[in-house]
Amino acid sequence: MTRPSFAIAFAIAALFWSPHSAVAQSPDAPEEIQLDAPVEAPLDAAAQVQPGAAVEAQAGAPAEAQADVEVGQATESAAEANLQLRPLNVAVLDNAPGFSIAGRFGSRRGFDVDLALAICDIIGTRCALKPMEAGQLVPALEARNVDFAVASQVSAGLAADPVVASVPYLVLPMRVVLRESDNLPVPGVPFDGRMAALTGTPQAALAQTIYPGRVALYANSEELWIDLALGRLVGVFAPALVAQADFLSMPIGNSFKAMPLPVSAADGKRDAVILMRARDRELVVAVNDALSTLVGGEDFFASIERYLDPTLVDVPLETEETGN
C-alpha cells in the first residue's frame, strides 16, 4: 500500500471509532448508564424527604428525627389531598321524613342531607348520596361501598368494630307511641300483644331490654306504623322527633300519644352520630373537625328549624374533636 492510501484508510477508521463503541464491544464492560435519562420520582413520600434540608432547618437536630417529622407532614398532606381528589359516597336513609326524603328528578332533601353536603364542602370535595335501609348501613361500610353514613335516626348504637362513631351532633329523646286509651305496660308484668321497633336501632335494643321476648322488629318503618294503627301492636319505640314526623302529625295518628320510656332519663336519650370505618383515620379526623365547625352554627340551627321540630331535639353543649 502506498503512503497516501495508508493515510486515507487511517482517517476513515478514526471517523467510525469512539470510546463508547469500544466499551460496548468489550464482553467484560459494565452496562452503559444514560446520565441524561429522566429519573422516575419515588411514590413514597418518605423517599422525597431530604435529611440535609432538615438539618439546615433546625441546627443540632438529628437528621433522622427531622426527616420523620417531614415524612409525617408529607403523609398528612397527601391524605388530605386524597380526600379532595374524589367524591365521597355517603349513605343516608332512603325514607326518613325530616332527615332524608326523595324529591323530584332524583333530588333529596332533609337534615341529614344538609349535614352530609356541609361536611363534604368543608373537606373540599363533593358528596354522592347513597340512599338505603337502616339495616344496610354497616354492611355498606364494611364492604367499602360508602365512605361514611349520616343516618341521625338510627346511627347511635350501630358503631362496633370495624365501624366507629363521630362526635355527637344531636341528642334525640326516645318515646313509646301507643293509643290514647292505653297505658304503658309495666316492665316485668305480663301483657297481651307486642311492642315494636325498627331493626338495628338503639331503640330496638332498649325495647328488648325492657320487654324481653315481647318485641317485634321491623325492617321498614312504614309497615311498623301501619301495624300500630291497625291494632296489631301495643306500642312502638321511636325517637320523639321521628314519631311526631312519621305518625303523630298524620291523620292516622290522631288517636295516639307519645309516652316517655319507663327508664331513666339518660337511657331515654341517644346521640346522633356519623358512622365511619375505623381504619379510615384521615376521614375520621376530617369529619370530626367538620362537625366541630358546623354544630351550633347558624346554618346548623337553620336546618333544624327547616326540617325538624326544635322542641324534640337537643344540641350537644360542646362538641369535642376526636380521632386526632
Mark whether 161 and 299 lie in a shared domain: yes
Mark whether 133 and 185 lie in a shared domain: no
Domain presence at residue 151:
yes
Q: How confident is the model at residue 120 (pLDDT cuts 50, 70, 90)?
A: very high
For the stretch 61-71, pLDDT in tens is 455 544 444 44
Domain presence at residue 98:
yes
**What stretch of H or E contains 164?**
strand 163-165
Q: How confident is the model at residue 265 (pLDDT cuts 50, 70, 90)?
A: low
Mark whether 195 and 128 lie in a shared domain: no
If you average pLDDT over residues 270-276, what whole number do you get? 91
If you average pLDDT over residues 145-173, what whole number do you get? 87
Give 105's DSSP letter: G
Q: How confident is the model at residue 317 (pLDDT cuts 50, 70, 90)?
A: low
Domain presence at residue 77:
no
Mark whether 132 and 278 lie in a shared domain: yes
> For the stretch 41-79, what's the b/e string if a residue is b when 16 or more beta carbons lie within 10 angstroms of its beta carbon?
eeeebeeebeeeebeeeeeeeeeeebbeebbeebeeeeb
User: What's the pLDDT at 35?
Assistant: 29
Of 253 and 158, the structure prediction assigns the larger pLDDT to 253
Mark whether 218 and 143 lie in a shared domain: no
Q: In this predicted structure, which of 70-79, 93-102, 149-158, 199-208 has the lowest mean pLDDT?
A: 70-79
Domain presence at residue 121:
yes
Domain presence at residue 141:
yes
Mark whether 257 and 283 lie in a shared domain: no
Domain CATH for 148: 3.40.190.10
Mark whether 120 and 190 lie in a shared domain: no
Q: How confident is the model at residue 286 (pLDDT cuts 50, 70, 90)?
A: very high
Mark whether 163 and 301 lie in a shared domain: yes
Give the pTM: 0.63
Domain enclosing residue 296, as ranges: 84-169+273-312
Q: Is 79 helix (H, G, I), strand (E, B) or coil?
A: helix
Domain presence at residue 64:
no
